[in-house]
């Protein structure tokens, strides 16, 4: 620790004790909402985040939409979303003390091909097709990456504002509707594909939400810039969007290849899987706002080997070798599907191919 003489924002000279970590401005204290908001923004960006905003805790109108989605059966077997629906819809049930919600975003776009490039190659030669892995599944699990960052950031926040400050964070794991808060924090608007779209960064970013008892300045909402564009809706091969801004997860390729616990699939959805093995990026690939998305510099989000579009023979060899599978998927989002899920998807792809052959479409 060091003691220095300085002049604060009011022009008052004072002796300040600075800790070796955390925020260099007024460590261990709160000031006023505007200043504290800027202090946290600097800490978040220093920690490695690319986007930052603050939302009020709500609840907002969008929180009520969850009940409608559940009633329509759009969540499928994702009971972990419906079981705690009341908490997701009312932040005060989770944290009665919450006054502000911090929302942070981290880019994960990389300069590698997109889905359409792989699908085009498969059309030209399908003897050993490439299988698509969603961009978020290429490298290390983002839950782990962001949680590691958040633990360090939490220590620095405590140094900055004092140990009594209440803070709780999630990385897509708790009863928190991160995307709703991201919209109200000004990180972007909710696109027709239900992704948060930033006007300059697009939608290739991960989110982390924090509840805090600090009184902070909330961000300004970003207007919806989707306009008349329907590219994300039109490109979906399984018709997973019954209407703009509404996703039926039971028809979504990502749900079917990752989340579902069912071993059967509706034929029309199976026919739309194409070459998808784990997840889907189509509705983001075609979004005009993603044409100039910033690239991540983190090695954690770069493709592992086999990479983002492995040959089918490579996948089959991996699934036949438990040790190789364990090494390739350790710390990877791909483990969420498990070996059974990946084999199941390969089976569905085979079933779809057989139907096309029967119909003479090969």
Going through the chain in order, the beta strands assigned E by DSSP cover: 2-7, 13-18, 51-55, 100-107, 132-133, 167-170, 189-190, 196-197, 205-212, 276-278
Cβ-contact 166, 157 below 8 angstroms = no
Residue-wise pLDDT for 297-307, tens only, equals 899 999 987 77
d(C-alpha 123, C-alpha 153), whole Å: 47
pLDDT over 50 at 358, yes or no: yes
Instruction: Band the pLDDT of 359: cuts 50, 70, 90.
Output: confident
For 147, the 3-state DSSP assignment is: helix
Cα–Cα distance between 76 and 152 in angstroms, integer?
A: 36
Catalytic residues: 172
Looking at the predicted structure, is the pLDDT value of residue 19 above 80? no
Residues whose CB falls within 8 Å of the CB of residue 268, separated by 6 or more in sequence, listed in order: 238
Q: What's the CA gap between 97 and 193, in Å, rounded?
A: 33
Residues 6+ apart with CB under 8 A from 29: 161, 162
Residues 103-108: what's their mean pLDDT? Answer: 98
The structure tokens 């994960």 sit at 108
CB atoms closer than 10 angstroms to residue 299: 8
Residue 213 predicted with pLDDT over 90: yes
pLDDT at 14 > cutoff 90: no
DSSP state letters, 201-222: TBT-EEEEEEEES---PPPPPP
Backbone angles phi, psi at 253, to 5 degrees: -60, -40
User: Is 30 a residue whose pLDDT tops 80?
Assistant: no
For the chain, percent of residues with pLDDT exceeding 70 = 91
Q: Please, which pLDDT band fits residue 116 given cuts at 50, 70 and 90?
A: confident
Provide the residue ranges of all domains of the chain, joining segments of one domain with +: 2-110+140-212, 115-136+227-358
Average pLDDT, the chain: 90
């Amino acid at each position: 620790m060091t003691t220095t003489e300085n002049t604060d924002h009011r022009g008052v000279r004072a002796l300040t004790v600075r800790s070796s970590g955390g925020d260099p401005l007024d460590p261990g204290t709160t000031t006023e909402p505007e200043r504290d908001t800027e202090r946290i923004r600097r800490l978040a960006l220093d920690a490695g985040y690319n986007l930052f905003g603050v939302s009020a805790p709500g609840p907002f109108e969008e929180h009520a939409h969850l009940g409608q989605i559940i009633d329509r059966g759009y969540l499928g077997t994702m009971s972990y979303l419906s079981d705690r629906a009341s908490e997701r819809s009312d932040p005060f049930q989770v944290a009665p003390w919450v006054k502000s919600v911090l929302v942070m975003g981290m880019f994960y776009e990389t300069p590698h091909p997109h889905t359409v490039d792989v699908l085009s190659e498969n059309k030209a030669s399908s003897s050993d097709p490439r299988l698509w892995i969603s961009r978020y599944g290429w490298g290390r699990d983002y839950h782990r990456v962001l949680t590691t960052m958040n633990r360090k950031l939490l220590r620095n926040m405590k140094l900055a504002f004092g140990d009594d400050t209440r803070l709780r964070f999630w990385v897509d794991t708790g009863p928190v509707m991160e995307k709703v808060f991201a919209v109200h924090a000004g990180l972007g608007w909710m696109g027709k594909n239900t992704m948060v779209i930033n006007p300059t960064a697009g939608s290739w970013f991960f989110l982390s939400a924090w509840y805090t008892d600090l009184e902070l300045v909330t961000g300004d909402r970003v207007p919806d810039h989707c306009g008349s564009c329907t590219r994300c809706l039109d490109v979906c091969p399984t018709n997973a969007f019954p209407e703009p801004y509404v996703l039926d997860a039971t028809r979504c390729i990502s749900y079917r290849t990752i989340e579902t616990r069912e071993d059967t699939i509706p034929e029309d959805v199976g026919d739309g899987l194409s070459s998808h093995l784990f997840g889907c990026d189509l509705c983001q690939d075609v979004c005009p706002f993603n044409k100039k998305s910033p690239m991540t510099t983190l090695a954690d989000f770069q493709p592992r080997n086999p990479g983002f579009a492995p040959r089918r023979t490579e996948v089959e060899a991996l699934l036949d070798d438990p040790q190789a599978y364990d090494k390739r998927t350790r710390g990877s989002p791909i483990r969420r599907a498990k070996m059974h899920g990946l084999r199941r998807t390969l089976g569905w792809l085979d079933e779809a191919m057989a139907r096309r052959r029967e119909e003479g479409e090969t």
